[in-house]
Amino acid sequence: MTERPSNSPSSSSYSDATISAPDYEFVRTLLRKEIGFDLGIDRQYLVVNRLIPIAAMFDCRDVGHLIDRVRQSQDRRLIEAVAEGMTINETSFFRGGQKLFDNLAQVAVPVLQRARSSQRRLRIWSGACATGQEPYSILITLLEQCPQLRDWNIEIVATDISERALEQARNGVYNQFEIQRGLPIQMLPKYFTKTGDRWQIADTLRRRVTFHRHNLLDSFLRLAPPLDIVFLRNVLIYFEPSSKTELFQRLRQSMAPDGILVLGETESTLGITTDFQLNNACRDFYQPAI
Ligand SMILES: C[S@@+](CC[C@H](N)C(=O)[O-])C[C@H]1O[C@@H](n2cnc3c(N)ncnc32)[C@H](O)[C@@H]1O
């Protein structure tokens, strides 16, 4: 059992494997406010497992000590480290299946292309891109399947709240396991080079994606709307309903009226917003409601 300081606001002490009810509620409220993450109930094990390394990073004796410091100091560095430490950065190349990316190239792009034939410009945003597999999958799809866009100005912006995930995304370096999860084998020699026991995406691709930190709860103005294609997948599942509704409202204002929104396989707008409707041509996509 770890000793807690006598001035600790949480009276109950706890071991490394558990967390007091007031501390759990404190973290839950902090996550809701900072990143929209709805932790739910009874996920004490998750909080403890995720925050042990953060506690060590800030020289705290244990997770309880870390939470006390956040509570007392309200230090932004600590708050952001705790929020980021709780994010789930699970992702893979071509997540959702090849068919989804084929539909992007063969159904969504041609319509947008026709409508933008004079500007010859497409703006794509991968929000919550984690370690970068999603924006690189989009780029590889366009290179492979949309040669007609070769002399277009294609901007791909990819953002996430997690600097740790973004660092890997910017470097574009993946281990064998990450490569095997979804990347078609023929793409490997074409777009990656081996560095030690890892694979790095070609510089020419890396330079075509702009990565920066962005909190989905913050304004979308920094993304320089209007956006033509938005991938916002497997992140809203962690949001509480009111944050989702508000986010869809802001997203609609940031998208081109004929823009395409892609959500995760288990996500939908049903019962959350009427700001988006399913795309008539392909049910993988949503579009701003008319
Ligand atoms: C499960 S991953 C999804 C990655 C990718 N979109 C996919 O579908 O494979 C969720 C990502 O959302 C990010 N995230 C969570 N809350 C966020 C927020 N409020 N703003 C921006 N990114 C957030 C996490 O850091 C994490 O990398």
Note the pLDDT tens digit of each residue in 193-248: 999 999 999 999 999 999 999 999 999 998 989 999 999 999 999 998 889 999 99
Q: CA torsion sign, 109 to 112 to 118 to 119?
A: negative
State which H helix or E strand residue 102 sits in.
helix 98-103
Tokens of 36: 């929209």
Give domain limits for the chain: 21-85, 98-288
CATH of domain 21-85: 1.10.155
Q: Is 235 in the pocket of ligand 1 (CB under 6 A)?
A: yes
Q: Is 168 in the pocket of ligand 1 (CB under 6 A)?
A: no
Residues 6+ apart with CB under 8 A from 106: 145
- Answer whether residue 11 shows pLDDT above 60: no
Q: Which residues pair with 158 in a beta bridge?
A: 126, 211
The pLDDT, as a whole number, for residue 17 is: 58
Count CB-CB contacts under 10 A for residue 151.
7
Separation of CA 109 and ligand 1 centre (Å): 24
Instruction: Pick the closest to residue 184 from 125, 148, 129, 136 (CA basis).
Output: 136
Choices 2.30.40.10, 3.40.50.150, 1.10.10.10, 3.20.20.70: CATH for 98-288: 3.40.50.150
CA dihedral 22, 36, 214, 81 (to 10 degrees): 10
Residue 90 alpha carbon, nearest atom of ligand 1: 1
Q: Is 32 in the pocket of ligand 1 (CB under 6 A)?
A: no
Residue bearing the CA closest to ligand 1, atom 26: 89
Q: What is the pTM of this model?
A: 0.93
Mutate to test the pocket of ligand 1, among 39, 137, 161 (most ligand atoms within 8 A of CB): 161
Average pLDDT score over residue span 48-63: 95
